Amino acid sequence: MTAGQPLHPQVLLLSSRIDFACDYVISALRELGVPYLRLNSEDLDSMELALSPSVPRLRVYAEDDDYVLEPDSLKGIFFRRPVYLREAGTGSQSGPERLARSQWGVFLRSLMVFEQARWINHPARVYFAEHKAVQLLVARQAGFRIPETVITNSARHLPAGQSTVAIKGLETILFSEGEREFFGYTQVVERDMLSAENLSALPTVVQAAVAPKVDLRVTVVGTQMWCAEIHGLNGAIPGDWRELKDAVTYRPRGVPDDLRQCIVALMDRLGLAYGAIDLAERNGQIYFLEINPTGEWAWLEKQLGFPVSQELVRLLGGER
């Protein structure tokens, strides 16, 4: 780069070093020759950044390159930071580390001043859509079947007449203890196992278990969507298939018109351009489980050839 000639990216990616799905999008951007800038949260303190909110303009100096992001040139922003990471951090971090994490998170969300850009997805809509209670209400309004659900800390209020229930956190459960990191998956348990002692400390999402079932993952970008059936190597998966990622198979499946209409209505009501939707099919009926507005898709693109990255780049580049 010649001194005095800053680069003007058309696409900004807000990501992390370990976000391999973002690598797929970058590969598609390079193939099309679309100029981009990727900001990984772990690397922000090694860059020189300046945001002028009222213009708006973002200046970034990193690795001897000078970038200027302005409304006239910036077409799309890919927001890959789940809002649950807004929290100050894990117990293993020092006070200054937690403060820095919090403030950098706010800085990234402050880029909402680029309101003319196509956000996938806008942080405010991510925050809204990540709430499971909101998801279930909106999914019902969009025409989906919903398992009987209650958010409770009491065994007194569990779904009636259900011997088996599925329990999950109100938001993604991710925490560290020392060098170990823990992630919370949905658990299917007998109703009798839930007592005042193991429920009272935290509010928990409790649903009537959909079983036996076939798991479906629908990946949506704009008006395009791709559905994958998920099967266990030994038959139906009773609980959360994500715990068994190395022991499941994926098959492409069409999206019928009635389901497509529900999905379009869901995305429209949530204000999302991208979503990873988990569904369960039992006896020919499909139930909505949840949607992740920053969910993963790269393994499906690799295994089933779903052109998710290409469609994301098309939208980020300004196509409607």
* Confidence category of residue 11, pLDDT binned at 50, 70, 90: very high
Give the closest residue to 315 by CA, choosing from 199, 247, 220, 237: 220
Domain layout of the chain by residue ranges:
11-123, 131-145+211-292, 148-209
Query: Does the predicted TM-score (pTM) go above 0.85?
Result: yes
User: Any idea which of 76-90, 144-158, 204-218 has the lowest mean pLDDT?
Assistant: 76-90
Quote the percentage of the chain above a pLDDT of 70: 82
* Confidence category of residue 99, pLDDT binned at 50, 70, 90: confident
Instruction: Give the tens place of pLDDT for each residue, 80-95.
Output: 976 655 444 444 567 7
Position 182 pLDDT exceeds 60? no
Domain 131-145+211-292 of CATH type 3.20.20.140: no
Predicted local distance difference test score (pLDDT) of residue 81: 78
Q: Is the model more confident about 41 or about 157?
A: 41
* Packing angle, helices 257-270 and 132-141, rounded to 10: 130
CB 300 within 8 A of CB 217: yes
* Confidence category of residue 67, pLDDT binned at 50, 70, 90: very high
Instruction: Give the tens place of pLDDT for each residue, 119-141.
Output: 999 999 999 999 999 999 999 99
Residue with tokens 């007194």, as numbered in its chain:
156
Position 118 pLDDT exceeds 60? yes
Position 174 pLDDT exceeds 70? no
Sequence-distant (6+) residues with CB within 8 A of 235 are none
- State the Rg of the chain over Cα: 21
Predicted local distance difference test score (pLDDT) of residue 88: 41
Backbone angles phi, psi at 259, to 5 degrees: -70, -40
Q: Is the model more confident about 79 or about 87?
A: 79
Residue with tokens 């098309």, as numbered in its chain:
314
Q: How far apart are the first and last CA of the chain?
A: 32
Q: Is the model more confident about 213 or about 94?
A: 213
Instruction: Give the tens place of pLDDT for each residue, 214-269.
Output: 999 999 999 999 999 998 877 677 677 676 667 788 999 999 999 999 999 999 99
Q: What is the arithmetic mean of pLDDT over 17-44?
A: 94
Q: Which CATH architecture fits 11-123?
A: 3-Layer(aba) Sandwich (3.40)
Position 2 pLDDT exceeds 50? no
